[in-house]
Amino acid sequence: MEEEKYSYDKIKDIADYIQSRTSQRPKLGIICGSGLGGLADLLTDTQEMDYTSIPGFPVTTVKGHGGKLVFGKLETVECVCMKGRFHFYEGYPIWKCAAPVQVMKLLGVKGLIVTNAAGGINSAKLNLGDLMLITDHINLVGVTGNNPLRGANDERFGPRFPATNAVYSKDLQEVFRKAADDQGLLSVVKEGTYLMASGPTYESPAELKWFKMIGADAVGMSTVPETVVASYCGMVVLGISLITNICIVDIESTDTPNHAEVLETANMRAKDLLNIVRLTVRWGQHLWNIEDK
């Protein structure tokens, strides 16, 4: 029997527990993708909290995902960073993968940066190591019955039927491009549509050809539940995919994608992404609605 979706009161209990154990009041949330936990190292005046110490909070089981909340400041902005996220393929119901975003909402978070490691489908547009700004998504898991907002709705979080045509902030994407240009990295910043598949298997050549036909530029196994819920909760969202492998669409190919390759590429580009994110937060504070008062 599927676990019952957390109520508003249950989410509030988790948020209250966290607040009682930290004096920090974050306005910006950051979710780190595979191999990108170094984003948490950007923070100063940090305080850490293991997921296992928080009643009701999920626990990550994937290599490259650290499993802790890190509170601190980034460019004077109080932040909470999820060093490790939760995936549908780990066995969690899809709503639980995104429940930490609702916790963030009740902690006072107004903006969200989400990163992931993704496979490049559109080889005409994307190269290994590119940073793809997510301009749209295909919620394959959601449209086949596992939407994170399925079930009882509480208007204190958001509306019953939220729109998803403007999940990702175009204004913040422009700030990200400006920051990349400042670092001499504008050439590796692309944009495109991210498709979420359930995993944990990497996609077959036939599946990848289909994904490309329906408009996907990159594919991964995360992110969309969090960004859908963040937008539903009224947060401003910036989504970034690090292209860590190029998808294999040739059935005759002897190459195989693997998680070690994903982590290796993530480590190669991680420092660049950290520098760009730092500048994006500095220059985009008015867009997050989190200006330092």
Q: Which of 75, 90, 191, 226 is catalytic?
A: 90
CA angle centred on 145, ends 154 and 262, rounded to 5°: 100
How far apart, in whole angstroms, are the C-alpha atoms of residue 293 and residue 285? Answer: 11
Q: Which of 40, 98, 104, 117 is catalytic?
A: 117
**Is 137 considered catalytic here?**
no
Q: Which of 153, 198, 207, 259 is catalytic?
A: 259
Terminal Cα distance for the chain, rounded: 48
**Is 87 considered catalytic here?**
yes
**Is 90 considered catalytic here?**
yes
Phi, psi of 22 (to 5 degrees): -150, 145
**Is 204 considered catalytic here?**
no
**Is 266 considered catalytic here?**
no
DSSP per-residue string spanning 94-146: HHHHHHHHHHHHHHT--EEEEEEEEEE--TTT--TT-EEEEEEEEEHHHHTT-
Q: Are 236 and 172 in contact (CB under 8 A)?
A: yes
Q: Which of 116, 169, 222, 231 is catalytic?
A: 222
DSSP 8-state symbol, 289: T
Q: Which of 118, 180, 218, 221 is catalytic?
A: 221
- 39, two tokens: 């984003």
How far apart, in whole angstroms, are the C-alpha atoms of residue 104 and residue 108? Answer: 6
Run of H or E including 271: helix 259-283
Q: Residues 6 or more apart from 8 whose CB is under 8 A from it?
A: 154, 156, 157
Q: Which of 6, 15, 51, 65 is catalytic?
A: 65
Which residue, among 184, 208, 143, 174, has the nearest Cα to 275 in the 3D structure?
Answer: 184
Q: Which of 116, 139, 241, 245 is catalytic?
A: 245
**Is 268 considered catalytic here?**
no
List active site positions. Answer: 34, 65, 87, 89-90, 117, 221-222, 245, 259
